[in-house]
Amino acid sequence: MTTLLSDPYQDVDAPDPTSPIVALRAISKTYGDGDIEVRALDHVDLTVQRGEYVSIMGRSGSGKSTLMNILGCLDIASGSTYLLDGEDVDDLDEHDLALIRNRRIGFVFQQFNLLPGLNAWRNVELPLSYGGVPRVERKERAIEALTRVGLADRVDHRPGQLSGGQQQRVAVARALVTRPALVLADEPTGNLDSSATEDVLGLFDELHEQGATIVMITHEPDVAARAARSVHIADGRVQDEASA
């Protein structure tokens, strides 16, 4: 079994810059058995190159949420191959999967999942505290991430003092603070009005231009169209792909 570094922020050899961030091969996932068996994913192949901005679009029940869980190492498939930033994650145990999630994936969810009693920078530093990063460095990196998303003047504000769009920007900063290989956004505009949606999508555009690798899960065609490449999934299979 593969063993990862005990310290998820210890320096490691840089990955091959020509290798994809995500390489899924023949990913399948089945729930239940017998007459109630449901095949959520059926031999899905997906490659995401370094620096790509990809949306995965599908209706409810299409399999996109299951695919998101596998991409985020929140669930595992059987009889398949998943390489994340060159690391084969298929045979990792729960401890090492947790390290992968903390170190290499930055999550942005529909719910902001901010702690109301903590200010912005303390919310952003949380993934680093789980990784054992010293407090002074945690604060420096949290403020750096908040500055990157345009909230340098809001670092001491609590979530209740921020708009919905600003709260999602804090959530994006939290996703970026570990300097992950992949930003995985699950319906990131689902709780936002049209103005805040445009604000957050504009932020993703900026991050993409800066070289971030982003995979966004959505059921909204206009949101999916903002990505450089859109993958449509239905009945657990990739139906088509289109580039912007």
Interval 13-22: pLDDT, tens: 556 777 899 9
Domain ranges of the chain: 22-243
Q: Which of 131, 142, 124 is nearest to 99 (CA)?
A: 131
Residue 10, pLDDT score:
42
Helix (H) or strand (E) holding 99: helix 94-104
Dihedral angle, C-alpha 225, 198, 122, 111, nearest 10 °: -70
Q: pLDDT for 54-80, tens place per residue?
A: 999 998 889 999 999 999 999 988 777
Contact 88, 81 (CB under 8 A): yes
Q: Which of 187, 236, 214 is nearest to 27 (CA)?
A: 236
Report the DSSP pairing between strands 229-234 and 53-57. parallel
Q: pLDDT for 138-151, tens place per residue?
A: 999 999 999 999 99
Residue 14, pLDDT score:
56
Report the DSSP pairing between strands 214-218 and 182-186. parallel
- CA separation for the pair 169, 201 (Å, rounded): 10
Residue 231, pLDDT score:
95
The CATH number of the structural domain formed by 22-243 is 3.40.50.300
3-state helix, strand and coil shares in percent for the chain, rounded to the nearest 5: 35, 25, 40
Query: What pLDDT tens digit does each residue of the chain (244 aa) get?
Result: 333 333 334 444 556 777 899 999 999 998 877 777 888 999 999 999 999 999 999 988 899 999 999 999 999 887 779 999 998 998 888 999 999 999 999 999 999 999 999 999 999 999 999 888 999 999 999 999 999 999 999 999 999 999 999 999 999 999 999 999 999 999 999 999 999 999 999 999 999 999 999 999 999 999 999 999 999 999 999 987 777 6
Burial 139-175 (b: 16+ CB within 10 A, else e): bebbbbbbebbbbeebbebbbeebebbbbbbbbbbbb
